[in-house]
Amino acid sequence: MSEYINTRNEKINQLKELFKNLHKGEDVNEIRNQIVDTMVSIPYKDVVMAEEELMNEGISPEEILSFCDLHTEALKGSLDSTTVKSIEDEHPVNIFQLENRELEKEIKILRKVFENVNQFEDDFPVNSLFNEIGNRMNKLYEVEKHYQRKENLLFPFLERYSVTAPPKVMWGKHDQIRVMLKSTRELIAVDGEVAAGDVKILIESFFLPVVNAIDEMIYKEEKILFPMALDVLRDEDWDTIANDSPEIGFCLIQPVQRSNSSIEQKKSINTFDESKINLPSGNFSLAELTSIMNTLPFDMTFVDKDDSVRFFTQGKERIFARNLSIIGRKVQMCHPPSSVHIVEKILGDFKSGKENEAKFWIQMKGQFILISYYALRGEVGEYLGTLEVTQEISGIKKLEGERRILEYEKNESDTANV
């Protein structure tokens, strides 16, 4: 046994040294084969352990992300015999896999369309084929729900069991794919005659890279992420993921939900006693306070002084997905690796007393969204945590003049019933 452990540690250390050589700037082509050979010779769990140790030693997730394609190249063919635990049809992993099968169908069709375009002379009009590419790409955009469920539901549980490197690296890869998908959205909206030569350029530069990236992610999920998650997570963890999944949505499928007591479990989470909560300026029952929080026309999230998410409001119209899986999660883990440094900067300035608020505003899906962060402080100015407030302000920006008489707001459903 000790000999096995020693050999295993040697392989892990060998892989780490090769990665460190890349980190130092050595030519990737010179050591590529060594990396691939080493990865093939050890289980995927040990590759993950090497990545974890590298991150603990200061290698950034972005740099490990750059090793990701080497990782996949090494594992292809060597993990085809990976065994996955038997799971029921409604299990979250099976849902993820069913979505992957649908994505693969769209990818297969797209690759065939790409081949068809390449058969024509460059000046030949191929509008029907280009429209088909657009239709299939529109379906691939649904992968966003698949990635969000991984990031917001699965990754938090992996982190609880100290599996942090794969989520960070994979989230970074998600963001790369998102950027690629965004670039294709503008391309498929082109009107007028489209020549085969132009479409060939678009395929090579935009469509094929994003198709390949999604395909590679499917492989990483099914050969690395899902087997590892099934080994690590407990049944109650999967129950929570299953219960929270419908709020985010599904990719290209509408699965049958579990027939267990998930609805009752949801209700039990929101069952409160009626004891009073006394504040300096008044008091509430727990039910009243909850209703107030969830009626506010904006989302709030509380992060305590130790950077752990402790609370979020549950209003009817949510701007960003929030679920019970993030409670207790470090706020740094709730953001893409590329923006963690901004989170750290805000928290650092709040804790030091240098700043008390930070604001951002973005435009998304026709909405104008204001995102504000406030430092929470005690009676003597001590830092208690951070409050994030997110609000859609398009309507507020349009306000002019005054309104001094009573006039109720009407939504579309109210107008339809008049």
CATH fold, domain 92-248, is Four Helix Bundle (Hemerythrin (Met), subunit A) (1.20.120)
Longest dimension (CA), the chain: 83
pLDDT tier at 268, thresholds 50, 70, 90:
very low
pLDDT confidence of residue 49: 72
Domain ranges for the chain = 2-75, 92-248, 294-398
- Cα gap 316→73, rounded to integer Å: 45
Determine the pLDDT at residue 68: 57
**What is the pLDDT averaged over residues 102-116?**
98
Name the band, by pLDDT with cuts 50, 70 and 90, for residue 415.
very low
Q: Are 329 and 156 in contact (CB under 8 A)?
A: yes
Half-sphere exposure of 286 (CA within 13 A, CB side): 6
What DSSP element (H or E) covers 340? helix 340-352
Provide the pLDDT confidence category of residue 38 given band limits of 50, 70 and 90: low
pLDDT at 13: 79
Flag the least confident range among 94-103, 248-257, 343-352: 248-257
CATH number for the domain running over 294-398: 3.30.450.20
Q: What is the pLDDT of residues 180-222, one digit of tens each?
A: 999 999 899 878 899 999 999 999 999 999 999 999 999 989 9
Instruction: Report which secondary-structure segment, H or E, holds 285.
Output: strand 282-285
Q: Quick one: what percent of the chain has pLDDT higher than 70?
A: 80
For 225-273, the DSSP string reads: IHHHHHHH--HHHHHHHHHHHHHH--SS--PPPP-SSHHHHHHHHT---
Q: Do domains 92-248 and 294-398 have the same CATH topology?
A: no
Q: What is the pLDDT of residue 97?
A: 97
Task: State the average pLDDT for the chain.
Answer: 85
